[in-house]
């Protein structure tokens, strides 16, 4: 998945007159729209179609047996474990970071903000290598870990660490502007009314950021399950043990097992579609909420 | 509950928001903290509330040192400038919040909370809007909900930060009278912050005039207005004309820079006449006349070239029949002198 920042559509009111004045001629419009459609078709829809058609090329039974195969099941399980640990960790971290950065002024705040973006700016392969250099046998903590019989690299902990690192910024990034925009006043009001810190967080802060939080979780989860580069470096590609779904797909593909490779890939593609759907729903829902309030506000 | 703030100082980086402020507020009083922006009035209010902790100094409630207590423990009612209503809760839920978050042992029953909220909704005359969200209310309605929410926990002190600042003129006037009336009924010790001298003078029992992190004067509205303790207070509480000069034996000498004194005269304490009265007076030429409103505002150019503001009742204006560019005499009826080393 590309490392882009999520940008949400803003529902800006557009006046009809302004549209008319800024509209291009018909052929320019069709040319631009056509270019966009062709581009999307070639780079998005065709690959997606190829994934599913190749997956089913050898029939439905091959498709399902590829998914039922023990190594495939192990890869799916490991992917779920990695995402299942990384997402909650980043959820807690994201809220804590957004809270700290959005609500308080402290020394090193801009440095921390930059640091949160680090996983976005560093190549995933480098992210993986960092962990090898720290936890690997020749690494910083390698000897100590070996002495205590703890395996991090080429084992599940390394995969979880790498996944967590790469998906670090998603939730924090989504929440920081939201929390910043909301300011402190509601929390201060809750405190003067006698609410404890937890009550304030649970009853005031959380409801105000819930849609942004859900949006961040969805994106974070998609990236956690699809991560290839960093995980590839720390995994060691041990079949049935340290392969996640993306790694499993690569191995199958390199062995010319195209139909099974695409069968597992179709699961990831489905995840992507489900993510897009969930993301759209969340956006629609939060926009609907805002609109409703605005509309009722006008009649009040 | 009485409030004492003793020797409070607070800095934000290089900016000194409060410098050794001492203030006593009596039980049941309605006090206004009045000053321009940056004078420290909001900081003082937040220090009293426990939302801000001073660098030094002590806050006492009923003589008891509560400096170390958090906002939560101080149990004050605080109304925020922009109301800070919980936007995802209805009016009802907003008002009930303070009661619902109480620990189980002291939390009223569901019915009691409901009754209390209903009572407050009646008080603020918004019974029909209990299920609305804050975004569906007008500014004045939000303000009243914020007040009800603060009152729900039955605080012994009510603190209001620029309570009418964001409202239009008419609603402002209504709400501040309502607040005064409410205070007269409930007798809860209240402090409100404002930069509007008219608001402070009309609503408060006592006015605390602040400037640059210090208190300039504390007193009843008529006291601070009629006997300002410093040029700043005189200036801040209304329009004023400044003259260099002196007063000797009841006679006012204007335009004598050598004396080093400044005379302050409010526009309504200058009289315009066609003939000199034998006492203190100076010549001036009428430049502008604005007769909209109960007072006619006249701008004149004094004989030495400075602009002078004069205000008079409509009746007097009708009698005089002033016209533009007319030469007149201006007679100061009352002047106030401060030593020049304290420039306003």
For residue A197, the distance in angstroms to the closest alpha carbon of chain B comes to 10
ipTM of model: 0.82
| CA–CA dist B199, A40 (Å, integer) | 63
Tokens 């969340």 locate to: A282
pLDDT at res. B6: 93
Instruction: Give the minimum alpha-carbon distance from A182 to chain B in angstroms, rounded to a whole number.
Output: 10
Across the range A90-96, mean pLDDT stands at 92
Taking the CA atoms of residue B315, residue B321, residue B324 and residue B325 in that order, the dihedral angle to the nearest 10 degrees is -120
Q: What is the mean pLDDT of residues A201-209?
A: 89
Kindly give, in sequence order, each residue whose CB lies less than 8 Å from that of residue B258, ignoring residues fewer than 6 positions away. none
Angle between helices A258-299 and A60-68 (to 10 degrees): 90
Q: Which residues of chain B have pLDDT under 50?
A: 342-344
pLDDT at A107: 87
Q: Crossing angle, helix A60-68 and helix A70-103, to 10 degrees? A: 70
A-chain residues within 8 Å CB-CB of B136?
293, 296-297, 299-300
Q: Distance, in angstroms, between B62 CA and closest chain A CA?
A: 19
With beta carbons less than 8 A apart as the criterion, state whether B218 and B207 touch.
Answer: yes
Q: Which residues, 6+ apart, have CB-to-CB distance to A16 below 8 Å?
A: none
| Calpha distance B329→B323 (Å, rounded) | 14
CA angle centred on A14, ends A11 and A17, rounded to 5°: 175
Our separate counts of H helices and E strands in chain A read 16, 0
- Structure-block tokens of residue B214: 């210090």
The model's pLDDT over B174-206, given as tens digits with 9 standing for 90+, comes to: 888 888 998 998 889 999 999 998 899 999 999
CA A295, chain centre distance (Å): 33
Digit-coded pLDDT (tens) for A206-227:
888 888 888 899 889 888 988 8
User: Which chain B residue shows the shortest CA-CA distance from A196?
Assistant: B72
For range A292-299, the mean pLDDT? 55
Residue B207 pLDDT: 95
By Cβ distance, the residue of B50, B84, B132 closest to A189 is B84
User: Which residues in A lie closer than 8 A to residue B142 (C-beta atoms)?
Assistant: none
pLDDT one-digit tens code per residue, A33-75: 999 999 999 998 898 888 888 888 888 888 888 888 888 888 8
- Give the model's pLDDT for residue A242: 82
DSSP string computed for A109-170 = HHHHHHHHHHHHHS-HHHHHHHHHHHHSTTSSSHHHHHHTT---TTSHHHHHHHHHHHTTHH
Q: Would the CB atoms of A300 and B75 count as touching at under 8 Å?
A: no
Question: Ranked by mean pLDDT, which of A168-177, A239-248, B205-214 comes out on top?
Answer: B205-214
């Amino acid at each position: 998945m590309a490392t882009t920042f999520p940008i949400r559509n803003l529902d800006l009111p557009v006046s009809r007159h302004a549209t008319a004045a800024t509209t291009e001629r018909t052929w320019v419009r069709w040319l631009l729209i056509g270019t966009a459609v062709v581009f999307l078709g070639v780079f998005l829809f065709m690959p997606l179609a190829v994934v599913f058609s190749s997956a089913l090329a050898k029939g439905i039974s091959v498709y399902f047996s590829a998914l039922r195969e023990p190594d495939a099941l192990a890869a799916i399980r490991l992917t779920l474990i990695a995402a299942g640990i990384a997402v909650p960790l980043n959820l807690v971290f994201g809220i804590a970071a957004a809270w700290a950065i959005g609500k308080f002024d402290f020394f090193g705040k801009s440095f921390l903000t930059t640091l949160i973006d680090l996983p976005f700016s560093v190549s995933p392969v480098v992210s993986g290598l960092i962990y090898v250099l720290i936890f690997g046998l020749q690494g910083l903590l390698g000897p100590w870990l070996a002495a205590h019989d703890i395996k991090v690299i080429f084992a599940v902990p390394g995969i979880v660490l790498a996944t967590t690192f790469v998906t670090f910024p998603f939730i924090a990034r989504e929440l920081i502007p939201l929390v910043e925009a909301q300011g402190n006043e509601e929390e201060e009001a809750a405190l003067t009314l006698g609410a404890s810190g937890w009550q304030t967080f649970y009853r005031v802060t959380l409801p105000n950021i819930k849609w942004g939080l859900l949006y961040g979780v969805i994106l974070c989860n998609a990236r956690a399950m699809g991560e290839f580069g960093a995980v590839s470096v720390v995994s060691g590609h041990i079949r049935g043990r340290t392969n996640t779904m993306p790694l499993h797909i690569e191995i199958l593909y390199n062995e010319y097992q195209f139909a099974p490779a695409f069968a597992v890939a179709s699961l990831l593609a489905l995840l992507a579609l489900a993510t897009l759907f969930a993301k759209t729903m969340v956006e629609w829902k939060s926009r609907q909420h805002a609109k409703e309030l605005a509309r009722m506000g006008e009649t009040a | 509950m009485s409030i004492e703030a003793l020797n409070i100082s607070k800095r934000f980086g290089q900016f000194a928001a409060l410098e050794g402020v001492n203030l006593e507020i009596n039980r049941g009083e309605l006090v206004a903290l009045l000053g321009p922006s940056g004078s420290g009035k909001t900081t003082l209010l937040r220090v009293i509330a426990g939302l801000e902790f001073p660098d030094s100094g002590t806050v006492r409630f009923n003589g008891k040192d509560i400096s170390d207590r958090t906002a939560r423990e101080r149990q004050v009612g605080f109304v925020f400038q922009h109301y800070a209503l919980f936007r995802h809760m209805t009016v009802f839920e907003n008002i009930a919040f303070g009661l619902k978050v109480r620990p189980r042992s002291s939390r009223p029953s569901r019915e009691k909370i409901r009754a209390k909220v209903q009572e407050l909704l009646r008080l603020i005359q918004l019974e029909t809007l209990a299920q609305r969200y804050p975004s569906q209310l007008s500014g004045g309605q939000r303000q009243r909900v914020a007040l009800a929410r603060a009152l729900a926990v039955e605080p012994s002190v009510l603190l209001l930060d620029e309570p009418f600042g964001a409202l239009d003129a008419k609603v402002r006037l209504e709400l501040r009278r309502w607040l005064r009336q409410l205070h007269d009924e409930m007798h809860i010790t209240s402090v409100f912050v404002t930069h509007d001298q008219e608001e402070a003078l009309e609503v408060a029992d006592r006015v605390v005039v602040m400037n640059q992190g210090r208190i300039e004067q504390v007193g009843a509205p008529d006291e601070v207005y009629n006997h300002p303790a410093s040029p700043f207070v005189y200036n801040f509480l209304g329009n004023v004309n400044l003259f260099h000069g002196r007063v000797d034996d009841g006679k006012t000498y204007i335009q004598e820079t050598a004396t080093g004194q400044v005379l302050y005269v409010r526009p309504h304490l200058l009289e315009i006449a066609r003939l000199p009265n034998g006492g203190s007076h100076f010549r001036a030429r009428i430049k502008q006349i604005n007769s909209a409103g109960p007072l006619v505002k006249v701008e004149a150019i004094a004989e030495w070239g400075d602009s002078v503001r004069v205000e008079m009742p409509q009746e007097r204006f009708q009698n005089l029949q002033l016209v533009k560019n007319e030469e007149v005499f201006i007679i100061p009826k009352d002047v106030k002198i401060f030593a020049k080393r304290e420039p306003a």
